[in-house]
């Protein structure tokens, strides 16, 4: 008898739906995972929901277990936490993280799941992919003891970067955002907060994660000579202007891209994707990351919730999706 699960699909840009899907029979070395919760990667998934992935990036933007093609119909997502119901003895009954779209149950190779440490609640583990992006960014940026750093954009990614930087000795970290309400997030993460016009300059490093032209401009303005902006924003099909006049050349400034799709060059020869994800899950033992989860809905409510998130009507950071126990 075929097993049926439920999955969230983007039927067409702006229109999501829950569909019944048939699960493949698990083979040797596969696991069957029953979902406990998943997370909406607000920036990327909103862009996908709106149909904003450029055609030139269709291949690069594919999620590991994506079905369908951009702009739709497509099954997309990559922050899933569940329990292994069938599979190798070492994983049976374990809570695991998987880069899988929003779906009630799924069958994947055992190598595609990472056990969640006992010190990390399942509801917090949905942040693993976001923290993994932050870890890779800091491997790229390689901040030093005593650096002056601005994190511009207090979203999921910026908040994760700030939370990790707060652990660096002697570092001055400011979380910068145009929304004064994000000051509460900065306080929870243990870093200073500033509005863009009040941010401290003379920075050795600015990590930009606001996905706005104004945010990137301000990041460059905050740099000391020889400073670096590490760009984490994903703009999709939007074109933005970058101010490469003014102090850009005389200050010998650096604008560098970072993206989680490849392990940072500084660690590529010594760390695998699995190592990076396992580290990110270990870091999530710190309850400070709970501040990044600001909303929740039942799985069956995801189509309407996703539409509101993409339209900006449901603000916040990580939106957690909860599955029933059946």
Residue 120, domain extent:
4-127+284-322
Question: Domain tally for the chain?
Answer: 2
34 forms bridges with which residues in the sheet? Answer: 83, 105
Collapsing DSSP to helix, strand or coil, 325 comes out as coil
Q: Choose among 189, 203, 195: nearest CA to 150.
A: 203
| 276 within a domain of the structure (yes/no) | no
Whether residue 68 sits in one domain with residue 34: yes
For residue 270, is it within any domain? Answer: no
Whether 264 is in a domain gets the answer no
Task: Among 241, 257, 273, give the residue marking a domain's end.
Answer: 257
Three-state DSSP state, 95: strand
Q: Does residue 268 fall inside a structural domain?
A: no
Give Dmax (Cα) for the chain: 69
Q: Are residues 112 and 215 in the same domain?
A: no
Output the pTM of the full model.
Answer: 0.92
CATH number at residue 28: 3.90.180.10
Q: Tell whether 296 and 312 lie within a shared domain.
A: yes
Residue 288 and residue 238 share a domain: no
149 and 67 share one domain: no
What is d(CA 159, CA 273) in angstroms, rounded to the nearest whole number?
22
Kindly give the confidence (pLDDT) of every residue in the chain, 326 residues in length, as a single tens digit, with 9 standing for 90 and above: 678 999 999 999 999 999 999 999 999 999 999 999 999 988 889 999 999 999 999 998 899 999 999 999 999 999 999 999 999 999 999 999 999 999 999 999 999 999 999 999 999 999 999 999 999 999 999 999 999 999 999 999 999 999 999 999 999 999 999 999 999 999 999 999 999 999 999 999 999 999 999 999 999 999 999 999 999 998 877 888 988 888 899 999 999 999 888 899 989 999 999 999 999 999 999 999 999 999 999 999 999 999 999 999 998 999 999 999 76
N-to-C CA span, the chain: 17
**220 and 108 fall within a common domain:** no
* Distances 317 to 43, 169, 286, 294 between C-alpha atoms, Å: 9, 27, 18, 6
Q: What is the DSSP letter of 317?
A: S
């Amino acid at each position: 008898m075929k097993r049926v699960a439920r999955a969230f699909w983007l039927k067409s840009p702006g229109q999501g739906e829950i569909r019944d899907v048939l699960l493949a029979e698990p083979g040797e070395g596969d696991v069957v995972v029953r979902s406990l919760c998943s997370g909406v990667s607000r920036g990327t998934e909103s862009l996908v929901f709106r149909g904003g992935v450029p055609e030139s990036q269709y291949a690069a933007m594919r999620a590991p277990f994506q079905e369908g093609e951009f702009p739709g119909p497509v099954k997309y997502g990559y922050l899933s936490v569940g329990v292994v119901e069938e599979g190798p003895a070492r994983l049976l009954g374990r809570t695991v993280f998987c880069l899988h779209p929003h779906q009630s149950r799924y069958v994947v190779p055992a190598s595609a799941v990472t056990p969640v440490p006992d010190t990390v609640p399942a509801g917090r583990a949905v942040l693993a992919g976001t923290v993994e992006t932050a870890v890779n960014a800091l491997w790229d940026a390689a901040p030093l003891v005593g650096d002056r750093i601005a994190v511009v954009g207090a979203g999921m990614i910026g908040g994760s970067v700030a939370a990790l930087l707060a652990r660096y000795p002697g570092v001055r970290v400011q979380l910068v955002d145009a929304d004064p309400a994000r000051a509460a997030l900065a306080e929870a993460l243990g870093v200073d907060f500033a509005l863009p016009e009040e941010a401290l300059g003379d920075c050795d490093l600015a990590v930009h994660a606001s996905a706005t032209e104004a945010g990137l401009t301000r990041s460059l303005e905050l740099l000391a000579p020889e400073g670096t902006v590490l760009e984490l924003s994903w703009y999709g099909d939007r074109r933005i202007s970058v101010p490469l006049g003014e102090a850009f050349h005389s200050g010998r400034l650096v604008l560098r891209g970072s993206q989680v799709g490849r392990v940072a060059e500084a660690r590529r020869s010594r760390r695998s994707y699995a190592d990076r994800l396992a580290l990110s899950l270990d870091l999530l033992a710190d309850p400070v990351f709970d501040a990044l989860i600001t909303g929740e809905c039942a799985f069956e409510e995801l189509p309407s919730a996703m539409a509101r998130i993409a339209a900006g009507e449901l603000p916040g950071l990580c939106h957690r999706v909860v599955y029933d126990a059946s």
